[in-house]
A = this chain, B = another copy of it.
Amino acid sequence: MRLTKRLNYMDKTPQEKESTEQRIFEAARALFVEKGMAGTRMQEIADKAGINKALLHYYYRSKDKLYTAVVKAVINVAIPKIIGIFESDLPLKEKIEHFLDVYIGLISKNTFLPLFILTELNKHPQEFIDSVMPKDLPKPDQFFKQVEDEISAGNIRPINPRHLIVNLISMSIFPFVAKPMEQLILQLSEEEMQQFLSQRKQEVREFVFASLRPY
């Protein structure tokens, strides 16, 4: 029985590529993210991984342990990725554009992921704040300083950089997560909605830059 620790579930060392353990993990990840812990059957995971149910218990002792492994891996990959973008060396406006590019691109292809992470983090908030924070989590300090410099230079209006980050993330992630809700509210057809979402990147960019204009 093995219970391998893996920080990044996307890591694939050449030797063990497509090992049974990995196939199990990947199948579990996909299903848990889509249907949640309680909504996923061990049998489904086994089927998707192309192996037998008993093997799941051989590699991961219980459903609970398998689930926990998935949750930790997913969150430990996603959070640093978000922060990482803010820590690049680009100038502020390019950084914001880059963030919107990468983000809106990623999310529109991974609809389930944000909801899964949000739900999970809400279920055990303290656990993750404790277990993830101590690590090598990058800090958005550089971004904060950059914003303050631009304010001092009179290039943008005064603004609390933390709220700016939260506004950016909110306007990038939420519309995709809440797509069906918005479709209801805005009364758009599927095609119109698709069209609407494809405009987001440009619209958010314009909205934010307009807001940052100095008074």
Contact = CB atoms under 8 A, between A and B. Distances in A.
Contacts of A213: 210, 213
A interface, over-half SS: helix
B175 A128 contact: no
A129 B175 CA distance: 16
A23 interface: no
Contacts of A112: 122
A115 B165 CA distance: 21
Interface in A192-215: 196, 199-200, 203-204, 207-208, 210-213, 215
Interface in A87-139: 111-112, 115, 117-119, 121-122, 125, 128-129, 132-133, 137, 139
Contacts of A2: none
The number of times this chain is found in the oligomer is: 2
A13 interface: no
Contacts of A177: 118, 122
A20 interface: no
Contact of A173 (B79, B117, B162, B174): B174
Nearest to A188: B162
11 contacts: A79-B185, A115-B118, A115-B122, A121-B184, A122-B177, A122-B180, A160-B199, A162-B186, A167-B171, A173-B174, A210-B213
Given A38-B39, A167-B204, 17 more contacts: A38-B38, A118-B178, A118-B181, A119-B119, A121-B178, A122-B180, A129-B180, A129-B183, A129-B184, A132-B184, A140-B187, A157-B210, A162-B196, A163-B196, A166-B182, A170-B171, A173-B178
